[in-house]
Amino acid sequence: MPVFKTPFNGYSVKFSPFYESRLAVATAQNFGILGNGRLHVLDLSPTSPTLSEIVAFDTADGVYDVAWSESHDSLLIAAVADGSVKIYDTALPPAANPIRSLQEHTREVHSADYNPTRRDSFLTSSWDDTVKLWTVDRPTSVRTFKEHAYCVYNAAWNPRHSDVFCSASGDCTLRIWDVREMGSTMIIPAHEFEILACDWNKYDDCLLASASVDKSIKIWDVRSYRVPIAILNGHGYAVRKVKFSPHRRNLLASCSYDMSVCLWDFMVEDSLVGRHDHHTEFAVGVDMSVLVEGLLASTGWDELVYVWQQGMDPRAV
């Protein structure tokens, strides 16, 4: 299976929604604690199991997350640790990039997510406790969502409702927002420890998953959010990212500080359906291709990016 070695520590990996062989990787020097960052755009070879770099962009601080535009096949949004949000055009040479640098967050930006339905806006979440809504054509954010009481690690658009998103915070709550409302529309005290990630089910717009420092993933139904509809246990340390499958309703992937990438079916009793221990350091980035069913990618602090087909061993040559 294809593997790519990055010079810095991996932080996030995302498949392009336009090209089935393309993916972007966010990396940060010295484990993201101090140093520079680099954004890689990689391409899977159609003939051999190799990943080759198309272009890379350097930043003055670590890149914690990356999001592909849903409206322009060459645009990337980077969440940078210096508080800036940068927009890159992969069709332009590195010298002409970034095409935008948006400086409003006052602390590290930890996630970026592009609106998949309206396709003209994106969200960023930050350690400054806020989530910001941006449009590509404006130099400032459209509005700021400031209700969380601690770092917001993740914000994700609902796949069907173009005005609705969720956010996951270190204040141990999940919040559901509607961009037309002043405050959050729902507060779910989802875990007893920090929540590091959240994602919506792609086939049921009322289901979402939360991943926490308490090592668990919980599945919630916003129609009755008092108790989770499923609790997925199996990771040995904090769960860093969670991602619902774009192809199968009940499937989701997660990665963790226990260095593993896990696959889950939240509707069955033995919900852990796959476990990959290919990373030798914290696994902090995972994604599932929307264009190729079963194609997975992960990255971690071992400076490696793996791409593999579900059911295969990521390390298989």
Partner 1 sequence: MESNTPSPPPANSPPPKPRDRAGAASGPTPFKPPSAGNTSDVVESSGTANPGEIVSTSDRTATVNRNALGRPLPSRPWEQSYGSNSYGGYGSALNYNSGLGSGMYGSYSGLGGGMYGNGMYRGGYGGLNGSGMYGGGMYNGGFGGPMGGYGVGMGGPYGVQDPNNPHGGPSSPPGFWISLLRVTQGVVNVFGRISILIYENTEAFNMFMTAILQLAISSSHSYGSFYSIDFVLTGLVLFDRTGSLYGELARFVLRILGIKRKQRKVCPPGPNGLPLPGPNDMHANQRFIKGPKAAPGESWDSVWGKDPSK
Residues 195-214 that bind partner 1 (CB under 8 A): 196, 202-206, 213
The whole-angstrom distance between residue 49's C-alpha and the CA centroid of its chain comes to 24
Least separation in angstroms between CB 295 and partner 1: 12
* Window 37-56: contact mask with partner 1 (x via CB under 8 A): --------------------
Within 290-309, which residues bind partner 1 (CB under 8 A)? 290-291, 293, 301
Q: Which of 96, 268, 312, 316 binds partner 1 (CB under 8 A)?
A: 96
Residue 10 near partner 1 by CB under 8 A: no
Q: Which of 3, 56, 136, 273 binds partner 1 (CB under 8 A)?
A: 136
Cα 96 to Cα 210, 287, 314, distances in angstroms: 38, 28, 35
Residues 6+ apart with CB under 8 A from 138: none
Residue 156 near partner 1 by CB under 8 A: no
Comparing CB distances to partner 1, the nearer of 54 and 96 is: 96
In the Cβ-directed half-sphere of 261, how many Cα atoms lie within 13 Å? 28
Q: Which of 22, 148, 218, 278 binds partner 1 (CB under 8 A)?
A: 148
By DSSP bridging, strand 207-212 and strand 195-200 are antiparallel
Comparing CB distances to partner 1, the nearer of 247 and 315 is: 247
Distance (Å, whole) CA 268 – CA 273: 9
Task: Look at the block and give the residue holding tokens 């941006």.
Answer: 134
Within 159-188, which residues bind partner 1 (CB under 8 A)? 159-164, 170-173, 178-182, 185-187
Least separation in angstroms between CB 43 and partner 1: 17
Comparing CB distances to partner 1, the nearer of 38 and 276 is: 38
Residue 102 near partner 1 by CB under 8 A: yes
Backbone torsions φ then ψ of 29, nearest 5 degrees: -75, 150
Residue 91 near partner 1 by CB under 8 A: yes
Query: At 248, which helix (H) or strand (E)?
Result: none
Within 224-283, which residues bind partner 1 (CB under 8 A)? 237-238, 240, 246-247, 249, 257, 280-282
Residue 65 near partner 1 by CB under 8 A: no
Is the Cβ–Cβ distance between 85 and 78 less than 8 Å? yes
3-state SS, residue 94: helix
Q: Which of 4, 127, 220, 306 binds partner 1 (CB under 8 A)?
A: 127
Is the Cβ–Cβ distance between 129 and 144 less than 8 Å? no
Residue 314 near partner 1 by CB under 8 A: no
The whole-angstrom distance between residue 137's C-alpha and the CA centroid of its chain comes to 23
Sheet with 22-28: list strands edge to edge. Answer: 9-15, 22-28, 37-44, 51-59
Residue 33 near partner 1 by CB under 8 A: yes
